[in-house]
Amino acid sequence: DTGVSQDPRHKITKRGQNVTFRCDPISEHNRLYWYRQTLGQGPEFLTYFQNEAQLEKSRLLSDRFSAERPKGSFSTLEIQRTEQGDSAMYLCASSPADTQYFGPGTRLTVL
Amino acid sequence: GEDVEQSLFLSVREGDSSVINCTYTDSSSTYLYWYKQEPGAGLQLLTYIFSNMDMKQDQRLTVLLNKKDKHLSLRIADTQTGDSAIYFCAVRGSNYQLIWGAGSKLIIKP
């Protein structure tokens, strides 16, 4: 078991550009979560999948954000028309049931 | 809404015990977690406790839960320099999402 992986680890982009992040969960974990973490804060929930179904989206998630998990395995998180306020660490976690295991995160910097 | 609060810093001497405290507001939380985050690293699950328990011990870690006061603590015995990190308390909310505190930075004095 190789753990949760995320790609890329770092992304620098200019305001207004679109970015896409990928998360590969631990195999056979049916739940997958996306969180966002800013400096000095705990993670904030963004969205959650059970298999391929997106079951909940936070009110924090504006319509510029979209997430998919097309085959119930890896997931992508896309941010359109990035803003400087989107700069943060984007964390993915997978879960078999009651525990969540996190990947290393993707650090996004919007210039 | 649900809220989780932690003290921001804790400083202890190497070899002493560290106690990190957390309070939460959602009395229906069923699972409560402690995660560790080292600089530049991801969140590592340390331990968790189910709400019908009041204590859980795992090697140097002891978790205490006072459900009446909605208070959770993590005790680290014989604190080592490798324990320097930020420790996050999290409680499970609706739909299995986690609600997080802001983290407690543990500083080890030699």
Return the SS3 of B82.
helix
At residue B1, the pLDDT reads 66
Mean pLDDT of A60-78: 93
How far does CA B82 lie from the centroid of its chain?
16
At residue A98, the pLDDT reads 87
A42 and B100 within 8 Å at the Cβ level: the answer is yes
- A40 backbone φψ class: left, alpha, beta (φ>0; ψ -120 to 50): left
Whether the CB-CB separation of A90 and A108 falls below 8 Å is answered with yes
A42 and B97 within 8 Å at the Cβ level: the answer is no
A56 pLDDT more than 80: yes
Banded model confidence at residue A70, pLDDT cuts 50, 70, 90? very high
Nearest chain A residue (CA) to B97: A45
Pick among A55, A102, A106 to test the B interface (most B CBs inside 10 A): A102
At residue A45, the pLDDT reads 92
At residue B107, the pLDDT reads 96
Which residues from A are below 8 Å from B93, CB to CB?
A: 45
Ranges of residues in chain B with a pLDDT under 70 are 1
Which residues from B are below 8 Å from A91, CB to CB?
A: 42-43
At residue A60, the pLDDT reads 78
A38 pLDDT more than 80: yes
Write out residues 24-43 of A within 8 Å (CB-CB) of B.
Answer: 31, 33, 35, 40-43
Phi, psi of B76 (to 5 degrees): -110, 115
Among A21-30, A57-66, B90-99, the least confident range: B90-99
Q: Residue A73 and residue A90: Cα distance in Å, rounded?
A: 18
A13 pLDDT more than 70: yes
Write out residues 65-104 of A within 8 Å (CB-CB) of B.
Answer: 91, 93, 95, 98-104
